[in-house]
Structure formats: C-alpha cells, structure tokens
Structure 1
C-alpha cells in the first residue's frame, strides 16, 4: 500500500527525562529531518538510541498521523510526541508482531514491530492536558531495523513482510 512519511525526527539527546513538571531538557528547537540513514540492529544514524544495547528492540518508533491528538493540540507533531517516523495512511499500531517494510524510493527498509510505544505523562506537558490518555492505544510502535537503508519524507510503499496483518 502507498503511505506518506510526513515527518522524521532524529534527536541526539534524550529530552524527556526526570519529572514532567520540570519540563523538557534543552535541545535544538526542531530535530525534524527530511532524510535519515537506518542501520540494521542499530537504529537511526544520529539518534539518541542509535547503537544502545538497552534499546536495540526499540531503536526506532513509528507512529500513525491519524492517532495524533489534534483535538488537544492542532499543531502536534513528532517534536511533541518524540517518535521518529510519522506515517499517514496506515494504522501502524495494529502491526505489533509483524515484520514490515517502508520503501521511500531508495529500496525497502525492513523493521520488526516489537511492541507498542506507550505514551507517558510527558505527553500532557509536551502536547497538552489529556494527551497521555488520548494516545493510550495509538502512541505508535517500537521497532528493530532489520536492514540498512534510507527513509525520506514523502510517498512510500508499506508492506507486511511476515507476521500479523491488519
């Protein structure tokens, strides 16, 4: 199926640590990029979780734009949710347990969709009050990249390689 990669976020620093009441840590105002290199088993080049053993099964987070709480914050995007890839046209949350590929025109990049990316109390701070609850069943998914490749903003082909289908 054809989907759209709306945004990509690569953050070199973990900005949501500590207590939400203290606010996010300082960092670049906008960490969104137009293109990112993906490395098998490591994640997104330049991202805070790249190559970290504790995050190998959750190095990349994919989220469906349709699940953004726009009723709470009309301009909400990856800068607020801290996910890596924002997709339009696929309910990515329904693919937990599957292996999927995204081809942005430079060859498929394969991901194992391991588990939901559960929203935390930070969402009420970065997005707005009520976002934590609103995103409970649509906060995206945590994935392991199974191939090297490139993701880019724009049209992409999404395919289930194996596993559950929605």
Structure 2
C-alpha cells in the first residue's frame, strides 16, 4: 500500500549547460540568468528534456535531482533557490532526503511520474560560492536526492500529489 500526501512543486530547473565545472574559486560558467521553467517533460530512463544530464549514460541513475524547499539555506542567503543548488525539482511538503531507496510518484495533474530515489545529492564546495560561506555544511544530509525517472510524464509548478510506491515510508 502506498502513502499519499499533497505537496507543492515550488521550482523546476532545466539547464542545458554544466555551469559548476572546474574550481569553485573560478566562479560559475556563464549561462542564462534564470534556467527555471514552469513545466518540464520527463522521459523514462533519460531524464528531463533539455537538461544537461538528459540521455547521458553516466548520469542515468542520477538524471533528476529532487530537493526539499525546507532545506534551502535561506539563513545564509534569503534568495537561495535551485539556480544556486543546481537541483532540478524543489518540493514543499515532503522530506525527500529520507526516501533514499524508495520508489515515488509525483503527479502535477497530468498523471503520475515515477522515480527511483537512488542516492543522496551531496553538497559540494560550490554551494559556498553560489549561496554563501557555510552553505555546503548546512546542506549536509539534506542536499536532495538523485533519481532515475521510471516513467514518461510532465512536471509543472503548483500543487501535486506525492506517493511513496515502494520502499521507505515517508517521514521515516
């Protein structure tokens, strides 16, 4: 039996370029000022259409990164968001970091999109550059999760239904 809860998709980020490459002291690579989108197409086993990790074999088990909005280090920078953390989906209302090993579904109104929650997204030294000093430490253990999409579908901003299909029960 699955557990269902109501969540909100607060932000979606699709970036065609890997902007945090090299040394953090060099700063982020140039790119568009805002890569956040209102909706994104998800493809099973491939990722988010248009994203830098889409269809890349080395990233298939980590093609999509989900993060809990409650974990953004806004005490360091009140403007911190997905542009700074480089995660793809910002969710309000679920402790996504506790669900490593689970299979989840997120339905934004056009049908559920399933994900295998594979491993934590560990924060790196770039967080101290893009958000501010102390952000890497603040995000330890709550930097989001790397996932494989198990079905095709669409994610969109706004209210959504979140379901744990298999694995850990939410909140454990």
TM-score computed with the length of structure 1 as normaliser: 0.99
**Match of 2:12?**
8
| SS of equivalent to 2:32 | coil
1:19 CA drift (Å)? 0.2
Of 131, 139, 146, the match for 2:143:
139
1:137 CA drift (Å)? 1.1
Of 52, 55, 63, the match for 1:48:
52
Give aligned pairs, total. Answer: 166
1:62 CA drift (Å)? 0.1
1:10 CA drift (Å)? 0.1
The within-5 A match list for 1:86-97 is 86-97=90-101
Give 4+ residue runs of structure 1 displaced > 4 Å after superposition: none
**Match of 1:29?**
33
**Match of 1:149?**
153
**Match of 2:106?**
102
Query: What are structure 1's unaligned runs of at least 5 residues?
Result: none
1:111 CA drift (Å)? 0.2
| SS of equivalent to 1:93 | helix
C-alpha separation in 1, matches of 2:33 and 2:77: 18
CA RMSD of aligned residues (A): 0.4
1:58 CA drift (Å)? 0.1
| SS of equivalent to 1:66 | helix
| SS of equivalent to 1:27 | coil
**Match of 1:61?**
65
| SS of equivalent to 1:137 | coil
1:164 CA drift (Å)? 1.1
1:79 CA drift (Å)? 0.3
C-alpha separation in 2, matches of 1:22 and 1:151: 33
